[in-house]
Chain A
Amino acid sequence: MSESKIAKKLMSESKIAIELINVDKHFGAVHANDKVNLSVESGTIHGIVGENGAGKSTLMSILYGFYQADSGQIKVFDKDFRATSSRQSIEAGIGMVHQHFMLVDNFTVLENVILGSEGGALISQSLAKARIELTRLAKEYGLEVELDIAVEELSVGMQQRVEILKGLYKGARVLILDEPTGVLTPQESDELFRIFDALKKQGVTIILITHKLREIMNITDHVSVMRAGKMVAHRETSKTNPEELAELMIGRKVLLNIEKSKAKSGKALLTAKNLEIYNEQGLKRVTEVSFQAHSGEILGIAGVTGNGQGSLLKALAGILPLSKGSIKIMGKTITPESHLNPKQLRELGVAHVPEDRQKMGMIADFSASETALLGYHNDKEINQGVWLKRSSVKANCESLMQAFDVRPNNPNLMSSNFSGGNQQKLILAREFERDPEVLIIGQPTRGVDIGAIEFIRKRIIEMRDAGKAIILISVELEEIMSLSDRIIVMCDGEITGTVDAKDANEATLGMMMANALQPQDEPKGAKL
């Protein structure tokens, strides 16, 4: 399709790209979408915000043909639309970029793009056709990507471009992006937003699903807020503010920035020296990392996912061994020769809230009381001789649930039946309530609703004020900046910067996360 043709086609189309009228969807007892109305103007960027479980993903899945609505009407460019498969959605001009990319890692970019539209037994022709078309698209939208490189060799940001290209190649005029910036550095995010602008200028409609209000404020034209399956508000972005949106999302006022007093940092409780760590697959993830964590202080470790923070966290918790270096912790020293396992570390007063709550922090089909026991099942209060006392196990869970307001407060309920926020509260309660001295916390609020985020952050600060040393890893820069007293930035397994929280801003941290900044703040040139 030539450029003028597209332009003509777009002009001939209605101003409303997508219209949902009373769309309703149940999953058993869950009313995932409750008479949702939405209209998205063609050629705009439309944000949809809401807490986890508010029904955003369900709504988008209905648009993309994964689910069918129980009732209601959908119009795409004024035509009635009812998709039973993603193919129909693609034909109607809807493209989707999922949170987790749907790419074949060892295929080239070109091969990935034609996947699903090979058009015949022999693919050489369609490859050639795709190459021409993609080159054109890339130029038009500023989406340059090398076509003959395997996807696994591309950075995450680049892979996302491939996903966008895939959608455009298949003729998408409406792009839906689900939490697109979760895996990007701030700079990569800015790059993505620049692409959004280019797409918008060409008349492409973008629906952006996110929980980051800052993004909504920066780039969308309109924003719709969902809460508990209902569409509760539509706003013009320029006429609203983050506070209002947050309030709409959870139905009450929230503190986005937690008040905290100045840190009274004391003696070093944990000293890491020249750490070198290999992960479970035997890949070197951390090199030459040294730092100290003091009592009464929150040390934030920032970085894009997969730059060694995860492995560092596991090594501090005794899950991964060191291959070089040493960790002095509560008077003991971990070296490659003398490893301390998680049990021994817990006995020393080191608590660990793992990054992966679902797989590591809990056991989905254990009851809450059993999940609340993980790591502490050898405790004296719970065991009497060989007997693990059920009554104590239950009492333990009940007191944890009360301390952290876990709902429902039923120790016998299966762990998987709690919401993400309540699962996380239970895990935090388990780790916090034993009065540890050092706390190693990974992604404390990932996938947690705003109400719980506020609660969790307050608790972390309380622990700090009680004189504990806290090491915090998060992919949310906003979280690192609002909680930490000192920030370490990691990139590619090394520390690329250490800053005091009061001097930190997103731009410098972002540069450090991409290792584009020398410690002396001299720009190193365009390494991005």
Chain B
Amino acid sequence: MTRDKRLSWINGLLLPLFNVLTAFIATGIVFLFIGVDPIEATKILLYGALGYDEGLGYTLYYATNFVFTGLAVAVAFHAGLFNIGGEGQAYVGGLGIALVALYINPAMSAWIVIPLAISGGLLFGALWAIIPAYLQAYRGSHIVITTIMFNFLASALMVYVLVNILREVGEMSPESGDFIKVSWLPFVHDIFASFGYKIARSPLNLSILVALFFSAAVWFFLWHTRWGFAIRAAGKSNEAAIYSGINPKKIIVVTMCISGALAGLVGINELMGVQHRLFLNFNYGYGFGGIAVALMGRNHPIGILIAAFLFGILYQGGAELDFELQNVSRDIVVVMQGLVILFCGGLEYLYRPVLIRFLAPIKESK
């Protein structure tokens, strides 16, 4: 293997692996401090997340959300933009989905309604990203500031919409009525059942295929189209982009629209797939989780799929820990997430010098 190849293996695979392991070891130390046997905890976590049908279903269901928001962050990142508004874009995207799924003619075929509802999510997510994008491109307001502010705006907007507009007459809780049936995405256990296989019920639904589809689409778009080339060029060097006839301002707006649209897909999984209604804070935590997923996945769709799966494990396994162990609350997931972000993001290159020295040393020239 050439040295360049080895280096890319180190950067692409070994480093994230070592970082995640370190994060787990650190979590183990935290467990020791609160009087929990870390090995026992790991067993519970892994069994809870992967050990049986239902657990695995939940893990994949959580992972689906992280794929959407992770892709959103990654696409923006390739244009040199840090979109931390995934939370708000996912939320508002949910509104787009709900509007289609609530008010479309229920007699229409699912083959029309579902794509339309998905488009609603894409569109509203994009719309929620376009204002910060415009402000960044043409007014110089920093996208990190504006997108985070738009998360709060989204929160306020959704409360207003749910309480004053979408809440059904006579209902106490701020949520919409049920989506029309044809907009529901089938559960995976139902599909299996229709072929005669029986697996445990879980919220895992066909959105996972949508997530896989968009992962492939993002990969193709970024690395195999001229628009992806333009986005990556603008992200690496503004000056080189202008020189090449690429308009960086346009790139900012377009990329953020794509990014917001991807985040807007969280609602497919949560709303069309599982809850079949719009309710408060369905998006909670996935937007920010997506940042960690993108970081860990090195902004590459394959990496994001792996990282999202890991986060799914943490989510589901963490819930299991909370259930099984008395002195552990579900917040342990947040601690683990934090440690993963710390070691995968903040201390990304911690092991790089050592790994390079051992696995890809520079050969002495004669």
A contact residues vs B (CB 8 Å cutoff): 28-31, 317-319, 341-344, 346, 352, 354, 356, 359-366, 370, 373-375, 377-378, 382-383, 386-388, 390
Contacts and interface: CB of A to CB of B under 8 A. Distances in A.
B229 A370 contact: yes
A373 B229 contact: yes
Binding site secondary structure of chain B: helix
B224 A387 contact: yes
A343 B236 contact: no
Contacts, number: 73
Contact of A341 (B236, B237, B245, B364): B245
Given A378-B226, A387-B224, A366 B243 contact: no
Given A29-B365, A363-B233, A374-B243, 18 more contacts: A29-B363, A342-B243, A342-B244, A342-B245, A343-B245, A352-B243, A359-B237, A360-B239, A360-B242, A361-B243, A363-B237, A370-B233, A373-B229, A374-B233, A377-B229, A382-B226, A386-B225, A387-B225
B364 A29 contact: yes
B254 to A, nearest CB: 15
B349 to A, nearest CB: 15
Contacts of A375: 243-245
Contacts of B364: 29
A317 B237 contact: no
Interface of B: 224-226, 228-230, 232-233, 236-237, 239-240, 242-247, 362-365
Contact of A388 (B229, B240, B246, B362): B229
Contacts of A374: 233, 240, 243-244
Contact of B243 (A30, A319, A373, A383): A319
B217 to A, nearest CB: 11
Contacts of A377: 226, 229-230, 233, 244
7 contacts: A319-B242, A342-B242, A344-B245, A356-B239, A360-B240, A360-B242, A363-B237
Contacts of B229: 370, 373, 377, 388
**Which of B230, B232, B237, B243 is the most central at the interface, judged by chain A CB atoms within 10 Å of its CB?**
B243
Contacts of A390: 224
A31 B247 CA distance: 43
A352 B242 CA distance: 12
**Which of B224, B242, B365 is the most central at the interface, judged by chain A CB atoms within 10 Å of its CB?**
B242
Contact of B239 (A341, A344, A359, A386): A359
A41 to B, nearest CB: 34
B233 A366 contact: yes
Nearest to A352: B243
Nearest to B238: A359
A346 B365 contact: no
Contacts of A373: 229
A99 B289 CA distance: 47
Contact of A28 (B228, B240, B246, B362): B362
Please provide the 5 A-B residue pairs with the shortest distance between their CB atoms, ordered closest to farther: A343-B245, A342-B245, A375-B244, A28-B362, A374-B244
Given A341-B247, A383-B226, A388-B229, A362 B365 contact: no
A304 B7 CA distance: 43
Contacts of A29: 362-365
B222 to A, nearest CB: 10
A382 B226 CA distance: 9
A370 to B, nearest CB: 7
Contact of A346 (B228, B242, B245): B245
B243 A388 contact: no
A449 to B, nearest CB: 19
**Which of B244, B247, B363, B364 is the most central at the interface, judged by chain A CB atoms within 10 Å of its CB?**
B244
Contacts of B224: 387-388, 390
B228 A388 contact: yes
Contacts of B226: 377-378, 382-383, 388
A33 to B, nearest CB: 14
A319 B365 CA distance: 44
A319 B362 CA distance: 42
Contacts of B230: 377
A31 B365 contact: yes
A341 B242 CA distance: 9
A471 to B, nearest CB: 16
Nearest to B247: A341
Contact of A365 (B225, B236, B244, B362): B236
Contacts of A319: 242-243
Contacts of A366: 232-233, 236
